Structure 1
Amino acid sequence: MMRSKRGNTKSAIKPNREPKLSRSHAPADLSPVDWQRGLRRQFGREQAFGLENLTSEPFFSEFRVSNPASKSSYRVAIRGMGPGGNFCSCPDYATSELGTCKHIEFTLAKLEKKRGAKAAFARGYQPAFSELYLRNDGRRRLHFRAGTDSPAALREAAAALFDADHDGMLPDDRLGKLESFMAMASKSGHEFRAYDDALDFIAGRRDAERRAARLNELFPLGAADPEVGKHLTVPLYPYQAEGALFAVRAGRSLIGDDMGLGKTIQAIAAAEILARHFGVTKVLVICPTSLKYQWQSEILRFSGRKGENAARVINGGRAQRQNDYRLDDFCKITNYEKLKPDLDLIADWAPDLVIVDEAQRVKNWNTIAARALKRIDSPYAIVLSGTPLENKLEELISIVQFVDQHRLGPTWKLLHEHQVKDEGGRVTGYTGLEKIGQTLAPIMIRRRKSEVLKQLPHRLDQNLLVPMTEMQMLHHQENADVVAKIVQRWRRTRFLSDKDQRRLTCALQNMRMSCNSTYLLDQETDHGVKADELAALFDDLFAEPKAKAVVFSQWTRTHDIVIRRLEARGLGYVSFHGGVPSDKRPALVERFRHDPACRVFLSTDAGSTGLNLQHASTLVNMDLPWNPAVLEQRIARIHRMGQTRPVRVINFVAAATVENSSR
């Protein structure tokens, strides 16, 4: 009995604890907002963060919360117990729309244990100074709180500008009057605090208004204004001029046009407009490694800028990259893999505009490269993606977060509203996506080929420069040395033996083959970039259900490495070459024409004449023939009578090789 009584007494005085919340399933009795706030309260109170009070105020003060594990710290301002009024400089607070975060909840938990906390919080936040601050509990809004020492004139002006019924909120239509009020407050002799996040919000709104007004002055006719095209060395199609002006007007934007509509030239045009009229002097292009030299080539070609300072490819080891970032360049071009190690160099260089190409290639936006990308700060940004939404809504959310972290709201809220789940909690689909499209309209422009068909050229040829791997360059250089020796001998003697002629032809052939892959030389290794670039191109192209493509290469071994990529993606194909018996060839052509699952026609020059392949409107040359007439014969397979769509011809050219020098 004694033990039972003692046990009952002990349980009776045990403090009540909040039930443990699941991170994956919301309790039935909690709204999604309360569940998310509860998770942050639960997680924050479990942490062993450091806490430093930055002022002499014991409770309603500013604090530094530090995480010893990540070696990061954030500024926390406490104004009360409830959500919304407090502030934290962490990304979660900025985007969650919950008005709280784990750092705020950790700080509140520590303050609650201090003597006098209950009375202080019951009395409320009553500072002597006045403050302009930003609340983010569902929507970002400016608020003003008058201090206890606030002069009567300042209180009167505040009453006319801010809405007292909504905790001193500034209505959107009164933002234009805020500047004069802040000037008055600063001159009043009374302490007036305007916090950084509030000032950034005001500056962003003002910049957008001024930029729009300036664009209306510069281009009163919009995309039809001939002045837009004068910013490049080549004319823009109307939809391209529209895209460039859209990107400049938005400041930070996503161009999601279909593949082949010229997203690159739109971004370059926007960069030139920003450079000439809005003070942009530093542009950072982030793209896949294989596209860096292509970007350099097109910037020089379209912008008309000259010299190595116009567009510099960032390469080499840390020391070389460090030196490159110190140089006074208009544009620097880097790849995703170098973002994390070079964040400090990029921050010191401080780009005005960041262009992110092929954003859809970052499949997992929780990778090191993706997290590093989101840490790059710049006033302007342009993201390019032919397929901004491929499979998961989360991919689009993360891309948009780089452009405008507040546009779509918090991820938890968006997924709650748009995901469709079965009874087991598995995501089975999405709903209400048209609402997301409307939300993105101010920052995202997307045109499909069918929408701008009349503006497109009948045929568009494009050389895509791709880099060589170290092993490719080794093979290429070995054979180049053979060629150089034979040429020197010919210059000296003006004679080549049959043996030398055969060796010369073989070495040149090997140089060309090495540009595709080392597999063409040893049939074992597969060091090369072209096949992977082709696969990435197909990922974009075949997002359109009926799209088909013809791929030419002089060598069937190129077919072998391409087929591996096609089969890995489950794409149907036919392979047409000289080894296919004549009676089997018509069936291959018929399958490509009529089988919806057959997306790719692989061909050697055996198929460069006599075939009608107008079912495709994209032709890719993995390697270019020496004879221009043979090249035109290839292109004529799809660019011929009966073709109802614009034709796109893509030539893969290995940079700094016999292919590039021969063009």
Structure 2
Amino acid sequence: MTPVKDKATALVKPTSGTPFYVTGEVSESDEAWQLRISKAEGRVNGSRRLRRSIEMLILGNSLWARKIVNGQSIDLEIPKQGTQGIYRRQDLIKPLLLPVAIEDSLYPFQRSGVAWLLRNERAILADDMGLGKTAQAISGVRRLFRHGLIDSCLVIAPSTLNMNWIREAGIWAPELITVGLNPSQSERDEQWSSTMKRAHVVVTSYEQIRNKIEIFGESPPDIIIADEAHRLRNSSSQSTRGLREIKSKRFWALSGTPLENSPEDIATLLSLLFPNKFSPRNKSDKLSTLRASLSPALLRRTKEQVLGDLPDVIERTEMLSLAGKQSAAYESAEREFRLSPKENALSSFQRLLTICDIVDGESAKLDRIVEILAEIALKGEKAVVFSYTLEPLRLLEKMLTQTDPQINSILFSGELSANARDVAIQKFKNGPSSHVLLASSKIASEGLTLTEANHVLFVNRWWNPSSNQQARDRVVRIGQERIVEVRNFVISGTVEERVSELLEAKELTFEELIVALENDLKNLS
């Protein structure tokens, strides 16, 4: 072993049997940490983080505990760069072996948000949409793990956003083992029990917490993060009732939707934050009283308030999961291709990409886009939604009408005459109630100035990166006086994810992109 870098002695207290002292010695190379654990005499000493590491390892492995008690040593090597998807028990202590200080690329207002979360065990982060609530929450959790203050984290989010949370965790807390979990009813107890023991962060859906999760009765997560927490406003919903049953010390709720206008909403959120002080029955209290009670536990910043910290354009990619019909159709199309590869690789890719957008009126992307457009309209702002196929735009227009008739959308496609196109554009630009332009990427990516909008959403992107840039630049151009948010929606685990990776490699020409996609299809076959 290389020279010992750190050493500590911990008192391990098994659930049954006599407590015993254990010493851990850590040495470090460029590639890995080496940890030797052996039985010790004496007293507790050394850093708290290393003591916590030793306790976690021994209490989590009865075989190792027996070896230590019998006088044997345990030698472990923990690689600094883990193999994706392959984790061992000792990988769980990696955050405790890393330095406490963290370097990241958060904006100053986000650092303040993280510090505020760390000061508040139970709180609501209600920043304006697009200010990075997910990044702040993950960064806060990362610091809690680094300091050894928590061992487990449960993230509850809409099912379509589960993959996005996993992706964001990989960016903002790469040393944390983050997994998604949405098991079937027959596998629930076993899957939840095993997964909580082998991961730092478990991401699940609101549907999962509707029914009791047995392991949380005896071992609740150290912190719960509830994304899109406005879904919990109904005190009688199954998700809200299920969340009450999980007794976690820390609870952070995230929502970009205003939460302070309804006594019932505030009372429900207060009852989740502080169950010993409030209940849904507090909805009969004065609105001013409820707001005063909520105020210390709520942080909300608007874009205008943090303007100096933000770039002119905020661009992000949301990773989503296929909806039910889409998933079945994708598996069928992929299986069909494997069995009988086509001569034209691009047509096979196009079919799979189309399934990622929509199947028989079902679309995970459009469900998410409707949620976002509702928030944009509520703030009185405007958005342009681009798609290079018309079917998603037609369905989105219908969904918006059904969801909220107050969200006025305008379809802009090649089917319109030149005069009708001009009328549509002027209505969008000048109509105060015209919130959304549903635009065909093929005709709206050139010649238009749409700086009245400050949101751009891509249902899909064309394979030519310059075409996507041209579409984006309808809004991001001279005359734009506000920060612009650009959102791309990508289905995780599909060819679309690969296309997204290639599109982000800006040095690729269109021809090189096509060759890369064809090679992928050959490997698929």
Shared topology, TM-score over 0.5? yes
Q: Which residue of 2 aligns with 1:338?
A: 208
Q: Is residue 318–residue 489 contact of structure 2 (8 Å, CA) maintained in 1?
A: yes
Q: Which residue of 2 aligns with 1:640?
A: 477
Q: Is residue 408–residue 434 contact of structure 2 (8 Å, CA) maintained in 1?
A: yes
Q: Is residue 145–residue 151 contact of structure 2 (8 Å, CA) maintained in 1?
A: yes
Q: Distance in 2 between matches of 1:276 and 1:324?
A: 26
- The letter for the 2-side match of 1:511 is L
1:8-157 map, 5 Å: none
- The letter for the 1-side match of 2:468 is L
Q: CA deviation at 1:333?
A: 0.8
Match of 2:128 among 251, 258, 274: 258
For the residue of structure 1 that corresponds to 2:326, the secondary structure is helix
1:385 aligns with 2:255: yes
1:564 aligns with 2:398: yes
Q: CA deviation at 1:655?
A: 1.4
Q: Is residue 479–residue 508 contact of structure 1 (8 Å, CA) maintained in 2?
A: no
Q: CA deviation at 1:370?
A: 0.6
For the residue of structure 1 that corresponds to 2:128, the secondary structure is coil
Q: Distance in 2 between matches of 1:485 and 1:581?
A: 44
Q: Which residue of 1 aligns with 2:60?
A: none
Q: Which residue of 2 aligns with 1:316?
A: 183
- The letter for the 1-side match of 2:203 is I
Cα gap change, 1:349/1:414 in structure 2, threshold over 3 Å: closer, same or farther?
Answer: closer
Structure of higher CA gyration radius: 1
Q: Is residue 314–residue 321 contact of structure 1 (8 Å, CA) maintained in 2?
A: no
Identical-pair percentage: 26
Structure 2 gaps, min length 5: 1-98, 501-525
Match of 1:281 among 146, 151, 156: 151
1:543 aligns with 2:397: no
Per-residue CA deviations over 1:538-595 (Å, capped at 9, x if unaligned) read: 2322221x21111011111111210122112111011111111112211111111111
Q: With the length of structure 1 as denominator, give the TM-score of the two structures.
A: 0.57
Q: Which residue of 2 aligns with 1:582?
A: 418
Q: Which residue of 1 aligns with 2:43?
A: none
- The letter for the 1-side match of 2:433 is A
- The letter for the 2-side match of 1:532 is D
Per-residue CA deviations over 1:126-166 (Å, capped at 9, x if unaligned) read: xxxxxxxxxxxxxxxxxxxxxxxxxxxxxxxxxxxxxxxxx
Cα gap change, 1:406/1:361 in structure 2, threshold over 3 Å: closer, same or farther?
Answer: same
Match of 1:555 among 377, 386, 389: 389
Q: CA deviation at 1:640?
A: 0.8
Q: Which residue of 2 aligns with 1:527?
A: 362
Q: Which residue of 2 aligns with 1:511?
A: 352
Q: Distance in 1 between matches of 2:332 and 2:208?
A: 30
Q: Is residue 575–residue 602 contact of structure 1 (8 Å, CA) maintained in 2?
A: yes
Q: Which residue of 2 aligns with 1:468?
A: 322
Q: Is residue 255–residue 385 contact of structure 1 (8 Å, CA) maintained in 2?
A: yes
Match of 2:306 among 443, 452, 468: 452
Q: Which residue of 2 aligns with 1:627?
A: 464
- The letter for the 2-side match of 1:457 is P
- The letter for the 2-side match of 1:247 is L
For the residue of structure 2 that corresponds to 1:460, the secondary structure is strand
1:49-448 map, 5 Å: 231=102, 234-305=104-175, 310-325=177-192, 326-327=194-195, 328-389=198-259, 392-405=262-275, 409=278, 412=281, 415-418=284-287, 433=288, 436-448=290-302
Q: Distance in 2 between matches of 1:556 and 1:229?
A: 51
Per-residue CA deviations over 1:149-184 (Å, capped at 9, x if unaligned) read: xxxxxxxxxxxxxxxxxxxxxxxxxxxxxxxxxxxx
Q: CA deviation at 1:385?
A: 0.8
Q: CA deviation at 1:318?
A: 3.5
Q: CA deviation at 1:410?
A: 5.5
Q: With the length of structure 2 as denominator, give the TM-score of the two structures.
A: 0.71
Q: Is residue 255–residue 445 contact of structure 1 (8 Å, CA) maintained in 2?
A: yes
Q: Distance in 1 between matches of 2:155 and 2:350?
A: 35
- The letter for the 1-side match of 2:400 is L
Q: Is residue 446–residue 470 contact of structure 2 (8 Å, CA) maintained in 1?
A: yes
Cα gap change, 1:229/1:607 in structure 2, threshold over 3 Å: closer, same or farther?
Answer: farther
- The letter for the 2-side match of 1:323 is E
Structure 1 gaps, min length 5: 1-227, 419-432, 490-499, 519-524
- The letter for the 1-side match of 2:319 is L
Q: CA deviation at 1:597?
A: 0.9
For the residue of structure 2 that corresponds to 1:461, the secondary structure is strand
Q: Which residue of 2 aligns with 1:121?
A: none
Higher relative contact order (CA 8 A, sep 6+): 2
Q: Which residue of 2 aligns with 1:592?
A: 428
Q: Is residue 127–residue 133 contact of structure 2 (8 Å, CA) maintained in 1?
A: yes
- The letter for the 1-side match of 2:102 is H
Q: Distance in 1 between matches of 2:101 and 2:398?
A: 45
Q: CA deviation at 1:388?
A: 4.1
Q: Distance in 2 between matches of 1:314 and 1:361?
A: 20
Aligned length: 396
Cα gap change, 1:278/1:477 in structure 2, threshold over 3 Å: closer, same or farther?
Answer: closer
For the residue of structure 2 that corresponds to 1:339, the secondary structure is helix
- The letter for the 2-side match of 1:365 is S
Q: Distance in 1 between matches of 2:316 and 2:100?
A: 20
Q: Is residue 482–residue 507 contact of structure 1 (8 Å, CA) maintained in 2?
A: no
